[in-house]
């Protein structure tokens, strides 16, 4: 898969590091907008994105079709908002749908395996020992998530201090795998993967997807440490901008998860 949208899902491991670094620094010219209208067309049980009445395709040349009108409409809105050029950075829902169709459909087990690996070293397992204000903030944000995992999935995890790895009980990670395998929609699974990688926590992603955490609370829980450091040392503008962009992608993934299962 050479599509840049799917590269985040299944990056190539056979390219030398200098080549990857050089490619990362390239900023290709954005394509010009070539259509007047973006719309949705229903065929049987699927909803297709159309551009001037013609069906759009993914970078992998698959039809850009989704299971619900709401998700198709969200994509069409992104395409309609493009002005003179088509900027993928402003189209997180379309990027995620492309990844689901071109990537997750053919690599479902690999995606689940990757998410389960997070359950072995999840963000919410590792707590600081000091200062007290940070410890309190971590406990307040993360302990309810662990309690939810116990009550909802029967998954009991062990806590660690600092960055030393703590091996988790096999039955706990098996319980999370079972929860992930229940997510049959490739679009919902792709959304969970994005939310997990952005937060560093499959438990935060699952808790939000289940409705136990709002998007605001989920994003805040993922950045307890960062916010504490900013309260001590001050806010870094570039870091703030990066976090805002990542939050936009998180919220888009949250929307895809919801719309894919309406």
Helix, strand, coil abundance in the chain, percent, nearest 5 = 60, 10, 30
pLDDT per position as a tens digit, 170-200: 999 999 999 999 999 999 999 999 999 999 9
Torsion of CA 92, 260, 176, 106, to 10 degrees: -80
C-beta of residue 92 within 8 angstroms of C-beta of residue 182: no
C-beta of residue 123 within 8 angstroms of C-beta of residue 204: yes
pLDDT per position as a tens digit, 129-163: 889 999 999 999 999 999 999 999 999 999 998 77
The domain spans of the chain are: 4-90, 108-260
Identify the CATH assignment for 108-260 out of 3.30.110.30, 1.10.3580.10, 3.40.50.300, 1.20.1090.10: 1.10.3580.10
Residue range 121-129: mean pLDDT, rounded: 94
Name the pTM for this structure: 0.87
**CATH T-level topology, domain 4-90:** ATP12-like (3.30.2180)
The kind and range of the H/E element at 241 are helix 237-260
Distance between CA atoms of 83 and 56, rounded to whole angstroms? 18
**pLDDT number for residue 161:** 86
Q: Which residues pair with 127 in a beta bridge?
A: 161
Is it the case that residue 4 has pLDDT exceeding 60?
no
Residue 205 makes CB contacts below 8 A (sequence gap 6+) with 192, 195, 196, 199, 218
Same topology for domains 4-90 and 108-260, yes or no?
no
């Amino acid at each position: 898969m050479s599509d840049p949208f799917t590269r985040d899902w299944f990056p190539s491991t056979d390219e030398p590091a200098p080549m990857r670094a050089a490619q990362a620094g390239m900023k290709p010219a954005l394509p010009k907008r070539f259509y007047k209208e973006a719309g949705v067309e229903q065929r049987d049980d699927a909803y297709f994105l159309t551009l001037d009445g013609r069906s759009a395709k993914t970078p992998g040349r698959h039809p850009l079709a989704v299971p619900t009108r709401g998700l198709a409409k969200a994509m069409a809105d992104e395409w309609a908002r493009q002005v003179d050029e088509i900027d993928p950075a402003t189209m997180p829902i379309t990027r995620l749908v492309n990844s689901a169709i071109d990537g997750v459909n053919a690599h479902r087990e690999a995606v689940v395996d990757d998410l389960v690996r997070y359950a072995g070293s999840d963000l919410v397992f590792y707590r600081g020992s000091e200062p007290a204000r940070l410890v309190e903030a971590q406990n307040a944000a993360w302990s309810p998530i662990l309690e939810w995992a116990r009550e909802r999935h029967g998954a009991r995890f062990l806590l660690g201090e600092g960055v030393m790895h703590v091996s988790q009980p096999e039955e706990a990670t098996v319980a999370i795998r079972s929860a992930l395998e229940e997510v049959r929609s490739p679009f919902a699974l792709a959304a969970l993967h994005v939310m997990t990688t952005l937060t560093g926590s499959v438990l935060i992603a699952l808790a939000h997807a289940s409705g136990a955490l709002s998007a605001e609370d989920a994003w805040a829980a993922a950045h307890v440490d960062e916010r504490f450091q900013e309260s001590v040392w001050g806010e870094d503008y570039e870091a703030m901008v990066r976090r805002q962009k990542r939050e936009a992608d998180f919220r888009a993934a949250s929307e895809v998860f919801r719309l894919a299962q309406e």
